[in-house]
């Protein structure tokens, strides 16, 4: 321990090694708390296992929560020890421990440990983010492409105040207010908006992508088994933002076909009333749509 030039020679000093006590208490608490957090809190961490991307995000959240547990334990132990040991008792002077200012070992440990943690988490997070094609929306030219992205099933998501419409390019540009997806399929969401900035958040699928007017924001997701998931707008977009939600479903192939037939028939029956020309080619992203309540788009 380096000498502190500012310390008064007359100041009473406590010979107890508080540092060792704190470290031992921290190690014991961390050894108990970290596995408990991983085992009992880990499975509860969102967004769950609804899709490959959601599973990846849940795993990342579990790793980060487990890693942060010892950090939290250190703060709790430091705080509790300080409160218990260094509070003033009646008729008793509070003794300070030996000063650790200018202690090069503490400084070195602090820099090495925090740098290693931050660098590891940055590398780990980046790797995990890019591995499955993100699911967070990567603009019109995604850099993190999942395997088989060229044959991904496209669905265009159109946000508007205050609902989402889903356009299916492979079903002749059919538009629906229901989001139904086939199971075990790679989906390419092309997210956009008609008016304000929205955010398409398919919660249990682990997809959250900004919806900007005139922008094709692409997010990938690999669906798994049949499930119902929630869709919410995650960007404050006006008065009824809080009501901008609906449910989506991942279904087996036969149910997806049946739903497609009904949805296309329904859309064809209303299309003449909205003066929309028949769509050719089925481009994954279209700049004109059926929902055009304000005339600002479409
Ligand atoms: Cu919105």
Q: Could you give the percent of the chain with pLDDT greater than 70? A: 84
3-class DSSP state of 84: helix
Residues 252 and 171: their CA atoms lie apart, in Å, by: 17
Lowest mean pLDDT among 70-74, 103-107, 252-256: 103-107
* pLDDT tens profile 21-64: 999 999 999 999 999 999 999 889 989 888 998 988 899 889 98
Closest CA to 146 of 116, 188, 196, 205: 188
Q: Which residues surround ligand 1, an ion (CB under 5 A)?
A: 198, 233, 237, 244
Lowest mean pLDDT among 19-33, 138-152, 184-198: 138-152
For 172-234, the DSSP string reads TTEEES-EEEETT-EEEEEEEESSS-EEEEEGGGTEEEEE-BT--EEEEEEB-SSEEEEEEE-
> Would the pLDDT of 165 be above 50?
yes
Q: Separation of 219 CA from ligand 1 center, angstroms?
A: 17
CA atoms within 13 A on the CB side of 295: 0
Q: Separation of 3 CA from ligand 1 center, angstroms?
A: 61
> Would the pLDDT of 113 be above 70?
yes
Q: Separation of 138 CA from ligand 1 center, angstroms?
A: 19
Kindly state the tokens that stand for 244: 């901008």
Q: Separation of 208 CA from ligand 1 center, angstroms?
A: 12
Q: Separation of 249 CA from ligand 1 center, angstroms?
A: 20
> Would the pLDDT of 297 be above 60?
no
Give pLDDT, residue 288: 66
Which residue is it, tokens 């500012």?
A: 6
pLDDT grade for 270, boundaries at 50, 70 and 90: confident
Closest CA to 186 of 148, 218, 158, 129: 148
Q: Is the pTM of this model over 0.85?
A: no
Q: Separation of 213 CA from ligand 1 center, angstroms?
A: 12
Alpha helices by DSSP H, listed for the chain, are: 18-36, 52-85, 104-131, 253-270
Task: For residue 165, list its beta bridge partners.
Answer: 158
Residues 158 and 293: their CA atoms lie apart, in Å, by: 13
Give pLDDT, residue 8: 47
pLDDT grade for 235, boundaries at 50, 70 and 90: very high
Mean pLDDT of 269-298: 61
């Amino acid at each position: 321990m380096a000498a502190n030039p500012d310390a008064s020679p007359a100041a009473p000093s406590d010979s107890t090694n508080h540092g060792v006590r704190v470290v031992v208490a921290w190690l014991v608490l961390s050894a108990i708390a970290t596995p408990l957090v991983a085992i009992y809190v880990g499975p509860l961490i969102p967004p769950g296992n609804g899709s490959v991307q959601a599973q990846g995000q849940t795993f990342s959240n579990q790793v980060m929560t487990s890693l942060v547990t010892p950090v939290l334990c250190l703060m709790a132990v430091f705080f509790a020890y300080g409160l218990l040991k260094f509070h003033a008792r009646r008729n008793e002077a509070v003794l300070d421990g030996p000063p650790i200012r200018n202690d090069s070992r503490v400084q070195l440990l602090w820099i090495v440990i925090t740098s290693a943690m931050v660098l590891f988490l940055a590398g780990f997070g980046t790797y995990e983010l890019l591995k499955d094609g993100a699911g967070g929306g990567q603009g019109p030219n995604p850099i993190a492409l999942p395997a088989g992205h060229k044959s991904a099933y496209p669905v265009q998501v159109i946000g508007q105040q205050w609902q989402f419409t889903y356009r299916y390019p492979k079903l002749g540009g059919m538009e629906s207010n229901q989001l139904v997806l086939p199971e075990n399929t790679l989906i390419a969401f092309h997210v956009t908006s008609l008016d304000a900035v929205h955010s398409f958040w398919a919660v249990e699928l682990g997809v959250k992508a900004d919806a900007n007017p005139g922008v094709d924001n692409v997010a990938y997701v690999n669906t798994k088994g049949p499930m119902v998931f929630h869709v919410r707008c995650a960007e404050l977009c006006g008065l009824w933002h809080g009501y901008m939600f609906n449910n989506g479903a991942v279904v087996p192939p036969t149910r997806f076909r049946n739903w497609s037939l009904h949805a296309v028939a329904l859309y064809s029956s209303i299309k003449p009333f909205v003066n929309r020309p028949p769509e050719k080619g089925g481009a994954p992203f279209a700049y004109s749509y059926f929902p055009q309540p304000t005339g600002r788009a479409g």
